[in-house]
């Protein structure tokens, strides 16, 4: 990549395509390119926060907003039987894109504990 942008920042800036299903002034949501369940959506802030480990207390309202989007999308996507939200942080957490994102996974039973 020539710029220092993450892949998600490039999606925010519309430099690369994504199947965007929700957008507002603070956030967007789009289908994961490599879905791990029949529904696998990512909700991300427009603000470049690298991970939950680098969250500023001032971002609390933004995080609350992201979860209201999760709730709305879970309903719109028909996840009546339940769903899972995941935020991977850092190397041990399995984070591969350094832009905070909430995974929404659903429409199949999901086992616990995760790998």
Q: Establish if 30 lies at the interface with ligand 5GP (CB under 6 A).
A: yes
Q: How far is the CB of 31 from ligand 5GP (least distance, A)?
A: 6
- Annotated catalytic residue: which of 40, 99, 101, 103? 101
Q: How far is CA 27 from CA 5, 44, 48, in A?
A: 17, 6, 11
Q: Establish if 7 lies at the interface with ligand 5GP (CB under 6 A).
A: yes
Query: Is 66 strand, coil or helix?
Result: helix
Q: How far is CA 33 from CA 20, 39, 54, 61, 68, in A?
A: 11, 11, 25, 28, 23
Q: Establish if 94 lies at the interface with ligand 5GP (CB under 6 A).
A: yes
**101 included as an active-site residue:** yes
Interface residues with ligand 5GP (CB under 6 A) are 7, 18, 30, 32-34, 42, 88, 94-97
């Amino acid at each position: 990549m020539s710029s220092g942008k993450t892949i998600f920042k490039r999606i925010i800036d519309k430099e690369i395509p994504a199947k965007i299903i929700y957008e507002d002034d603070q956030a967007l949501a789009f289908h994961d390119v490599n879905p791990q369940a029949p529904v696998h959506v990512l909700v991300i802030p427009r603000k470049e926060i690298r991970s939950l480990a680098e969250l500023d207390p001032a971002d609390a309202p933004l995080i609350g907003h992201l979860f209201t989007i999760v709730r709305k999308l879970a309903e719109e996507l028909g996840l009546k039987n339940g769903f899972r939200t995941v935020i991977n942080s850092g190397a041990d957490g399995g984070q591969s894109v350094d832009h905070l994102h909430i995974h929404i996974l659903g429409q199949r039973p999901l086992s616990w504990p995760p790998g």
